[in-house]
Amino acid sequence: MAASSTRTLPARMPDGWWREHPRYRTYVLFAATGFVLIGVNLLLLAGVAALSTSVAAWQGYLEVLGSLPGLVGVAALLIGTLFFALRWLRVGAKIPAVRLGPLPAASMGLILVVHYAGFVTLTLLIVVLLSGLVI
Amino acid sequence: MLETRLVKFEIFRFRPEQDEGESWQTYEVPCPEDWVVLDALNYIKDEIDPTLSHRWSCRMGVCGSCGMMVNGTPDLTCKAFVRELAEPIRVAPLANFPVVRDLVVELDSFMTKLKSVKPWIIRKVEKDVEHGEYLQSPDDLENFKQFSMCINCCLCYAACPVLAHEPDFIGPAAIALGFRYNQDSRDEGEAERYDVLTGPDGVWHCSYANECSEVCPKHVDPAAAINRSKLVTALQWVKILPKRGA
């Protein structure tokens, strides 16, 4: 296509987009949870590394987690992860409602039930496993 | 008789023949209670300042011509009621598009992107008319009906934070229309659209802000189309799903 000969103003982003629009702010927060997920993974990796090093290292890891800064950090990671999960469940639920080859699209109601039921079941399973009630 | 009140508007101005850059001009418009922003713009053009340029046509949310930023949010000015907006009402051209003049934006890039997804029915072999029509069940229609409601108003492009940074991203409306034809049981062009949809400017640019779907005046839900395209094309990439027309 031939370039336009009209002098134009360059494309602009919406004015003050992330300050003025609550949905944009939510999106920026959601995108920022990428750092939270990196934090969660680093914490888990540190735990695995401590576990594979020595009993003392593992005890040290547990002590760090049990300290006030450790508890605050873990709580912040938990809040960030829950925010990520809940927003993802809200906007992500509409993705599977699509015809896949010969399979018809599932109803949104069913997808929502499966999504949230799966989230709650998985969370409870992890809580039960970590509490030592089963193993 | 409807009550009329004086409403302050701040309108974005850019006249390429005389202005170096943008400016904002204030107008006071006597607005009856039932006026939309487009009525006020037409009043300004007809009664106050004939140099103001803006696009409009149907006045009923069908043609998609009058999309603008109204108080910072992309909206069709023909369905944005003045009485529901905070004053001063700031009206600007759609974000993420070059501005030709005042409230008019250049849509060339959108038209190129739209064409790239081949938004029409592709058949490997066309059926002759005497062999009858292509039959489609209500369920088949339901697969894509929502996405065929797009009026190309480009509000979704103005709302997309990804497009603001990645101007080559094909964008919500074009992908939604490509997806609409991929979901159409009469179409066999999925393989032809695959490279465009999964290419460097395709669906994987989308970070699922969902803003396109929030502002869509026809409830098309382009974010769903884009992210369903990710799912479908990923399954096609690992050869779990076939591409129709391959």
Which residues partner with B4 through β-bridges? Answer: B32
pLDDT of residue A3: 55
Reported as a single tens digit per residue, the pLDDT across A79-132 is: 999 999 888 888 888 898 888 888 888 888 899 999 889 989 998 998 888 887
Band of residue A135 on the pLDDT scale cut at 50, 70, 90: low
The answer to whether the bond into B88 is cis (omega within 30° of 0) is yes
Q: Which are the contacts of A23, defined by CB distance < 8 A and separation ≥ 6?
A: B210, B211, B214
* Residues from chain B contacting residue A94 (CB–CB below 8 Å): 221, 223-224, 227-228
pLDDT at A98: 87
pLDDT at B242: 87
Of all residues in chain B, the one with the smallest CA distance to A34 is: B207
CB B103 within 8 A of CB B68: yes
φ and ψ at B91, to 5 degrees? -115, 125
Nearest to A11 among B16, B96, B224 (CB): B96
B183 touches A at CB < 8 Å: yes
Which segments in chain B show pLDDT lower than 70?
Answer: none
Residue of B14, B142, B211, B216 for testing the chain A interface, max A β-carbons within 10 Å: B211
Q: Write down the pLDDT at residue A2.
A: 52
* Helical segments of chain A, H only: 17-20, 22-53, 55-66, 68-92, 108-131
Chain A environment of B230 (Cβ under 8 Å) = 95
pLDDT in tens, B91-135: 999 999 999 999 999 999 999 999 999 999 999 888 888 988 899
ipTM: 0.78
Give residue ranges of A with CB < 8 Å to any B CB: 1, 4, 6-17, 20-21, 23-24, 27, 31, 91-92, 94-101, 104-105
Exposure string over A96-105, b if 16+ CB within 10 A, otherwise e: bbbbeeeeeb
For chain B, list the strands marked E by DSSP. 4-13, 23-32, 67-70, 73-76, 89-92, 99-101, 104-105
Res. A4 pLDDT band, cuts 50 70 90: low
Closest residue in B to A91 (Cα) is: B210
Cα B222 → chain centroid = 10
The shortest C-alpha distance from A120 to chain B (Å) reads 23
The pTM of the full predicted model, rounded to 2 decimals, is 0.88
DSSP A39-57: HHHHHHHHHHHHHHH-HHH
